[in-house]
Structure 1
């Protein structure tokens, strides 16, 4: 990529490199296994025969506390019966309709698979045992216009062990940074076609790497479950944060459309001749029936040329196939 940018630097208006989509998972590790959950029950004087009653009561308290903020501010709370419904589209539609620029947008409820605990009667040992099982429970999805991070969502599992997932976007975050810095820009979806000072924008984006993630994510977790400390007063536990998905994107903006228009066929050809078939389908989607028929009709004329191209690439090292050297 560095070679590509250097080769076309006279036509490039700006470059942005940084976080795109980020997904974090919060886990209460000490109670995420059966023995650890037994320690919690012991600390709260809960016998296994009373397990169901106890966890149901705690779950109801968590739901009420998590939804209280939406109820107090009259934000929508909506149950989604289908897993195929796009939660983000619903949330963005509500934000647009209600002109939400900061704060809670809505809370969406959905029943989804989860890992949780159940009591098992061990007939051989003649005793009750706690087991971790795959079941389904209610998840609460909170959507916000975060003052620092922009549009994001976080969800919490309403059954023990109350796992959390937070999804945010580095470009959303950058837009908020530029707003605070008074840096003018134009935005289209997740891209910035124009920024007044690209170098300053990159410096702002570089600060994202230095974020205090436990503090930032911990504040979001507190909003998901305001009674966390109360629930775990007798057996204190804290969330352990891990990265589930991390995307790093490099945006290259050309100053003139015709330059990119001329370069685009070469970019496309490079991708088609170097990517694996499965990867091409992931990017462009599977070919239609008409495209397959056209490909079959042209296969005879192009087979010899394709063989030559494949032989040529077979003798190249991965470094020689880099974008900058090819284009």
Structure 2
């Protein structure tokens, strides 16, 4: 039985959708050194003119376009001197809070970052001149904006060829737009839904992924913020660089999730093995497997998180805002997954066979099915854990002192030798049928106060006449001892 069925009365529902999505745009004719060399030769440009007369005008075009956009929107480009010590997301949230913007350009950052580029090279052995791959630092612009459909996004634009773009969006914002369009009510905090009025319809909307529409939107952003390719008659191809798929179980109250989550995460630390991780992620462990497989447990300010990873794919679980149990798959290279698809061969033929998933954004629908299945396999696994949360709650209750009729009765200390010996004694099988009789009763319990402690903490129940008898001071010890034996017998049979 899944957690969602077991605790159906404590949850609003379960929803799966894409979370963090990082998409890379590249110009096919400039994507690698050989292609760039062929492009320059085809257009009659000298190879050694690449860093000067070819690249510099293009760099200046990108810079002028960024300054023009900043001027039109009445803002200044903020240069980040220490990139690792600066949190762009926090700065953007502060700007949104100050300006109250809900759509359009929010801010522009600039920073010096590493980028892939090329440098001219002449091979004296072959006598050929060509471009070689190189890495260097150049100025990058970050355009943060709020799109009506996609929500808060950014586009990173480098100022050096080959102008590889990086686009960020969050799938939860896209789903929120679809829910608004269908006039479905929901509660949302940051990148998580806390409640949705119609879960079934919301899941159908999340399953409908439109790569063609996304492609058109990305092309519009590229033309607006990176004008160089269009001015040269070139275009961008979009691929998936990193992606996250989240399955959220929305609990009604934080106190419903807390005991369940603690039990699950502490059990998962010791239970999940490499074979299980491979099964979750749809991978195989072969004799020549070189992928690192492991589990990490992190305790952060916001809470705890457990992460299982295998190569470029991982799955993690954590509590979001205390009331959402999130299972999230992350993939840094979607070609890790193998699917049945049409494969084109060099001789012009094609056939259907298992092959790595294409990195194109047109694989998003197939990828969603894969990652969603991984999340549900993990959900099925943790649903098989025994739930000891109710036992922990009862243990907590009997360990605390209780007050009744202006009198305090201490709780049981399971680490105290006397309390432990009493509990061990009355739980022995020899006393289960007829109870504790004779001298064992006096030696084990000793006094009525301890017996009363058992009743207060819910271990046994007493007849009213027994309580009246113990309050009678004239009763002889013999009769008290006799009735004590009968009471212990009664309590043992009740237990």
The answer to whether the Cα contact below 8 Å between 1:67 and 1:107 also exists between their aligned partners in 2 is no
Question: Is the radius of gyration larger for structure 1 or structure 2?
Answer: 2
Separation in 2, partners of 1:147, 1:320: 33
Separation in 2, partners of 1:169, 1:80: 24
The answer to whether the Cα contact below 8 Å between 1:31 and 1:40 also exists between their aligned partners in 2 is yes
Shift of 1:209: 5.6
Partner of 2:235: helix, strand, or coil?
coil
- Give the direction of change, closer, same or farther, for the CA distance of 1:275–1:112 in structure 2 (3 Å limit): farther
2:266 is aligned, of 257, 263, 269, to 269
Separation in 1, partners of 2:196, 2:62: 44
Partner of 1:271: helix, strand, or coil?
helix
Instruction: State yes or no: 1:55 paired with 2:55.
Output: yes
Separation in 2, partners of 1:157, 1:61: 12
Separation in 2, partners of 1:114, 1:227: 17
Separation in 2, partners of 1:133, 1:171: 37
Partner of 1:212: helix, strand, or coil?
helix
The answer to whether the Cα contact below 8 Å between 1:143 and 1:153 also exists between their aligned partners in 2 is yes
Partner of 1:322: helix, strand, or coil?
helix
- Give the direction of change, closer, same or farther, for the CA distance of 1:319–1:107 in structure 2 (3 Å limit): closer
Shift of 1:214: 2.0
Separation in 2, partners of 1:201, 1:30: 40
TM-score (norm 2): 0.54
Separation in 2, partners of 1:223, 1:61: 12
Separation in 1, partners of 2:201, 2:300: 37
Instruction: State yes or no: 1:32 paired with 2:31.
Output: yes
Shift of 1:184: 2.4
Partner of 1:46: helix, strand, or coil?
coil
Identify the residue that residue 284 of structure 1 maps to in structure 2. Answer: 299
Identify the residue that residue 249 of structure 1 maps to in structure 2. Answer: 246
Shift of 1:35: 2.6
Instruction: State yes or no: 1:13 paired with 2:16.
Output: no
Shift of 1:279: 2.9
Unaligned ranges ≥5, structure 2: 274-292, 302-376, 387-495
- Give the direction of change, closer, same or farther, for the CA distance of 1:167–1:319 in structure 2 (3 Å limit): closer
Separation in 2, partners of 1:123, 1:227: 34
The answer to whether the Cα contact below 8 Å between 1:186 and 1:192 also exists between their aligned partners in 2 is yes
Partner of 2:78: helix, strand, or coil?
strand
CA RMSD of aligned residues (A): 2.7
Shift of 1:43: 4.0
Identify the residue that residue 323 of structure 1 maps to in structure 2. Answer: 382
1:239 is aligned, of 230, 236, 256, to 236
For CA contacts below 8 A with separation 6 or more, give which structure has more relative contact order: 1
Shift of 1:73: 1.3
Alignment of 1:102-121 (within 5 A): 102-121=103-122
Separation in 2, partners of 1:29, 1:177: 33
Separation in 1, partners of 2:16, 2:172: 10
Identify the residue that residue 75 of structure 1 maps to in structure 2. Answer: 75
Deviations 1:102-146 (A, max 9, x none): 011111111111110112344555664321101111111111101
Deviating more after overlay: 35-44 vs 97-106: 35-44
Separation in 2, partners of 1:77, 1:113: 19
TM-score (norm 1): 0.79
Partner of 2:83: helix, strand, or coil?
coil
Separation in 1, partners of 2:126, 2:110: 40
Instruction: State yes or no: 1:93 paired with 2:108.
Output: no
Identify the residue that residue 201 of structure 1 maps to in structure 2. Answer: 202
Shift of 1:275: 4.8
The answer to whether the Cα contact below 8 Å between 1:13 and 1:254 also exists between their aligned partners in 2 is yes
Partner of 1:280: helix, strand, or coil?
strand
Structure in which a larger fraction of residues adopt helix: 1
Separation in 2, partners of 1:11, 1:211: 39
Identify the residue that residue 312 of structure 1 maps to in structure 2. Answer: none
Unaligned ranges ≥5, structure 1: 287-317
